[in-house]
Amino acid sequence: DAKTTQPPSMDCAEGRAANLPCNHSTISGNEYVYWYRQIHSQGPQYIIHGLKNNETNEMASLIITEDRKSSTLILPHATLRDTAVYYCIVRVASGGSNYKLTFGKGTLLTVNP
């Protein structure tokens, strides 16, 4: 799986949009971009994933650049409960050993009141 690079930490004011960047310059054509988050002392939670088109769900939006070498996760109105470590992972969406997720260090997002 392609490696990703994320800033170690970010701060965001409550109610404002949080934009979390991720670089994945070695991504392959068949690899998806996945975002998970982990609130302290809990298991990771799936947020969103995409291949090349921008995606939006009830939690967040995912913006992928045209060359697919980077992406941005957007939390439109951050709340204190969004404070967590956010992981950007790229992998193929197929079976076998490709089910594996390789977690990097992620970005610790702290939402401040």
Partner 1 sequence: GAVVSQHPSRVICKSGTSVKIECRSLDFQATTMFWYRQFPKQSLMLMATSNEGSKATYEQGVEKDKFLINHASLTLSTLTVTSAHPEDSSFYICSAILQGSYEQYFGPGTRLTVT
Nearest 5°: the CA angle 57, 35, 21 is 100
Shortest Cβ 81–partner 1 spacing (Å): 16
Q: Which residues bind partner 1 (CB under 8 A)?
A: 36, 38, 41-46, 87, 93-95, 97-106
Shortest Cβ 80–partner 1 spacing (Å): 20
C-beta closer to partner 1: residue 45 or 54: 45
C-beta closer to partner 1: residue 43 or 113: 43
Shortest Cβ 110–partner 1 spacing (Å): 15
- Reduced 3-state DSSP string for 46-101: EEEEECCCCEECCCCEEEECCCCCEEEEEECCCCHHHCEEEEEEEEECCCHHHHCC
C-beta closer to partner 1: residue 8 or 113: 8
Cα(104)–Cα(113) distance, integer angstroms: 28
C-beta closer to partner 1: residue 46 or 112: 46
Shortest Cβ 58–partner 1 spacing (Å): 11
